[in-house]
Amino acid sequence: MVKLETYTRDTIDIRELGAFTFGVYQFQAQPYRYGNTEAEIESLLSDKRNCPDFLVVARGDGGAIQGWAGLYHWTDSMPYLLS
pLDDT digits (tens, 9 = 90+) for 13-59: 999 999 999 998 888 877 667 788 899 989 988 888 777 888 899 99
How far apart, in whole angstroms, are the C-alpha atoms of residue 70 and residue 81?
A: 6
**Model confidence at 12, in pLDDT bands (50, 70, 90)?**
very high
State the amino acid at position 47 in one-letter form: D
pTM for the model stands at 0.81
Q: How many domains does the chain have?
A: 1
Tell which wins on pLDDT, 72 or 42. 42
Q: Where in the sequence is the domain holding 33, given as residue range(s)?
A: 3-82
Q: Is 3 exposed, middle or buried (0-12, 13-18, 19+ CB in 10 A)?
A: exposed
